[in-house]
Amino acid sequence: MSDDLVLWEQRDGVGRITLNRPQTLNAWTAEFGAQLRRVVTEEAAEASVRAVLVSGAGRGFSSGADLRAGFEQHPEDGLPDVRKELHEIYHPVIAGIRALEKPVVAAVNGPAVGIGCSLALACDLVLAAESAFFGLAFVNIGLMPDGGSTLFVPTAVGKARAFEMAFLGERVRSATALEWGLVNRIHPDDVLMDEANALAEKLAGGPTRSYAGSKRALNQMLYPDLEGQLALEAELQHSLARTDDFIEGVGAFVEKREPSFRGA
């Protein structure tokens, strides 16, 4: 595999983005996020690209943030500068996908958890392997959903299931995700990428300006204040990253034990 953390390939109007940290199930680091942001906002935005396909190398789509890599420290208190990371790394990717005036397809071949789930749901169409699962696991480390999931999830599944996903942080298997409306189609694992490539190629051969118009209108209807929601998530998440529960949650994750939260 290439040393690049995010791979880009363009052929016949289809731009293919491959998340390329398979040894970590494509967990996000600052450098990974920076490379993905560049690909989404530059290469994928080129007019010659008529459709985009996002997938993950190896056994998963994305397992979320790489907690073992740590967080950049805020200069004033030395605590995680989550607000900066969300504004500069994570959220520009999500907003960039929604802003692309072309169809974006996600092919979810395994775990799509945390910001990985947010990334998949930010795409226009989501295909999932039978073995794939989705989860807003933020609560397991004392955080809340970000990456736009507080907007994408309730829009797709409604209030009851959105609260269930946010509060319980449990896995949502692909069949359930299809039933709930999180994904468009599920396929056997061994044919997922064939089906995803075929769909991306079909879209690339379609009426690009029609797609762009539909996406703009649907964005306005479904996500009229995406930027505002991302900003709110960043503020709330920044505060939560300063709690004892977050420190306990990360410690428990690294030590592979159950966390003991105190609400502080």
Q: What is the pLDDT of residue 2?
A: 53
pLDDT digits (tens, 9 = 90+) for 220-262: 999 999 999 999 999 999 999 999 999 999 899 889 999 999 9
- Full DSSP string of 138-173: GGGGT----TTHHHHHHHHH-HHHHHHHHHH---EE
CA 149-28-154 angle, to 5 degrees, is: 5
Residue pointed to by tokens 């490379």: 35
At residue 1 the predicted structure's pLDDT band, cuts being 50, 70 and 90, is very low
Architecture of domain 6-190+211-255: Alpha-Beta Complex (3.90)
Cβ-based burial of 195 (10 A; exposed 0-12, middle 13-18, buried ≥19): middle
Structure tokens at 242: 């300063």
Express each pLDDT in 48-86 by its tens digit: 999 999 999 999 999 999 877 767 777 777 777 889 999
Cα 251 off chain centre by: 24
Ordered DSSP codes for 1-53: --S-SEEEEEETTEEEEEE--GGGTS-B-HHHHHHHHHHHHTGGGSTT--EEE
Specify the residue for token string 């520009």: 92
What residue ranges in 57-103 does DSSP mark as E strands? none
pLDDT digits (tens, 9 = 90+) for 103-143: 999 999 999 999 999 999 999 999 999 999 999 999 999 99
Share of the chain above pLDDT 70, in %: 98
For the residues 6-20, what does the mean pLDDT come to? 97
How many Å apart are CA 86 and CA 109, to the nearest integer? 25
Cβ burial of 190 (10 Å; 0-12, 13-18, 19+) is exposed
Q: What is the pLDDT of residue 257?
A: 94
Encode pLDDT of 194-214 as tens digits: 999 999 999 999 999 999 999
Q: What is the mean pLDDT of the chain?
A: 94
Q: What is the pTM of this model?
A: 0.94
